[in-house]
Chains A and B, each alone.
Chain A
Amino acid sequence: MIPLTPSQTVGPFLHIALDWSDGADAVREGTTGAVWLRGRIFDGAGEPLPDAMVETWQADADGRFDHPDDPRRALEAPAGFRGFGRSATGADGEWAIRTVKPGVVPAADGAPQAPHIDVSVFARGLLDRVVTRLYFSDEADSNAADPVLSTVPEHRRGTLIAQRTDDGYHFDVRLQGDGETVFFDL
């Protein structure tokens, strides 16, 4: 095994390279079923982070990934679907990504996983990204049976559930302290 390259913080000037004009477009504008994921990022004092970045990765509405390691991969990815979103936070810690709700994705043993999106958060002061998962408030039955959510202490599961809004879902990330978001060891 070749030793791995260690992580370093993204720093406060990530926008120079990582703030794409089309970063929010996990799906193209006008995509059927498109919703906005919106939220804010807070530190342990409850202050918003104006210098963070969120990235999302997910399956399409049928639960498929446009990637060779998905044996269920569609012959052609849905038009306008990138599956990857990126949003630097604004002055109030806010971020937004336009996407579609993913379909059910099987776990390696075939058991269904509830619709979910993998989320990375990068920021000054984070020496490595932190990884969380976004689930959906209107998928209560699937969520209850999800093999990953079930490993999360019950009283903290709510931090992973995005709440329905007028134009999509709301998902805040609390890095530390009261209501701290569940982060995963990837």
Chain B
Amino acid sequence: MAEPIGGTPGTPPLPVYERPRGLHPPLDFPGYRSTSLRAPSQPLVLLPHNLTEVTGPLLGAERVGPTDNDLTVGHDGEALGQRIIVSGRVLDSDGRAVPDALIEVWQANAAGRYRHAADQWPAPLDPNFTGLGRVLTDSEGHYRFTTIKPGAYPWGNHDNAWRPAHIHFSLFGRAFTQRLVTQMYFPDDPLFGHDPIFNSIPDASARQRLVSRFDLDTTRPTWALGFVFDLVLRGSGATPFEDPDAES
């Protein structure tokens, strides 16, 4: 006979992760044209949080090279652009640090061009900038990397469409449920009001959580401006009970 795998003597119950409701952008968002043929049309089916969902790849230091935390180095010369230091903490929604977690970042160069075969708009490539970084969070969830401020980027979504300057973030957290891919923006970008991707997030205050803040404390004199960007992944909370009738 099967025995429960959580909650038996000596075994903690399996964590049950918070389900974000109304937080993430809807998959079908007409303002972002590429969603029209890619968003599923059928309702999602509720997936209980079992072992496959509450575990996840614990990718560590073996994936991070010695200069991966500085996107301005590793080439013959230094990358062009405004040098910046991006730092922050990765927490879960219970306020616990997410330690030893891999963060992958990628971005356009200072002119707003990606080093990618699919990006052919007439802005210069920088031979000294690839736009790829990797860092691990420390034991308290802190991370930090150095890069240059990316430029704004034109795209074909609508007439005269431009993306606000952004850095792509990919995080694993500690569980499959915590996986997150998002974008970090910069304060006071005049393009916010015109960008359907930024505005696809339904709640305006949630949108603002993707905007980093300028920080004088992490700004290095005569070297680089500091921006702080904290990320919050789903927590496993204090509520092990879950309503099986919750709408999907």
Interface residues of A (CB under 8 A from B): 1-18, 43-45, 47, 49, 51, 55, 57-59, 65-67, 69-72, 82-84, 105-113, 116, 118, 120, 122-131, 133, 147-148, 151-152, 156, 175-177, 180-186
Contact = CB atoms under 8 A, between A and B. Distances in A.
B51 A127 contact: no
A93 B176 CA distance: 24
A4 B180 CA distance: 10
Interface in B38-75: 38-42, 44-59
A109 B242 CA distance: 14
Given A6-B24, A185-B46, A127 B40 contact: no
B45 A152 contact: yes
Interface of B: 1-6, 11-15, 18-20, 23-27, 29, 32, 34-42, 44-59, 91-95, 104-106, 114-116, 118-119, 130-134, 168, 170, 174-177, 179-183, 197-198, 200-201, 205-207, 209-210, 231-235, 237, 248
B23 A6 contact: yes
Contacts, number: 252
A79 B231 CA distance: 33
B38 A126 contact: yes
B57 A127 contact: no
Given A43-B37, A180-B40, A184-B46, A105 B51 contact: yes
Nearest to B58: A67
A109 B209 contact: no
Contacts of A55: 179
A44 B41 contact: yes
B73 to A, nearest CB: 17
Contact of A184 (B3, B39, B44, B206): B44
A158 B71 CA distance: 45
B20 A123 contact: no
Given A3-B206, A57-B57, A108-B14, A185 B44 contact: yes
Given A5-B231, A17-B170, A127-B27, 7 more contacts: A2-B93, A2-B235, A66-B58, A106-B5, A108-B50, A122-B181, A127-B35
A101 B162 CA distance: 45
A65 B76 CA distance: 43
Contacts of B105: 17
Nearest to A52: B38
**What does DSSP make chain A's interface, helix, strand, loop or mixed?**
loop
Given A118-B52, A180-B42, A110 B37 contact: no
Contacts of A72: 5
A186 B179 CA distance: 11
Contacts of A156: 42
A107 to B, nearest CB: 5
A7 B106 contact: no
A125 B35 contact: yes
27 contacts: A2-B92, A2-B95, A3-B205, A6-B201, A7-B181, A8-B210, A9-B32, A10-B170, A10-B181, A43-B38, A58-B52, A84-B56, A105-B52, A106-B50, A106-B51, A118-B53, A125-B38, A128-B24, A128-B27, A129-B181, A148-B47, A148-B50, A175-B38, A175-B39, A177-B41, A181-B40, A185-B45
Contacts of B179: 55, 120, 129
Contacts of A45: 37
A53 to B, nearest CB: 9
A5 B127 CA distance: 33
A175 B40 contact: yes
Contact of A57 (B46, B56, B119): B56
A57 B232 CA distance: 22
Contacts of B47: 131, 133, 148, 184-186
Contacts of A83: 57
A7 B200 CA distance: 10
Nearest to A116: B52
B52 A59 contact: yes
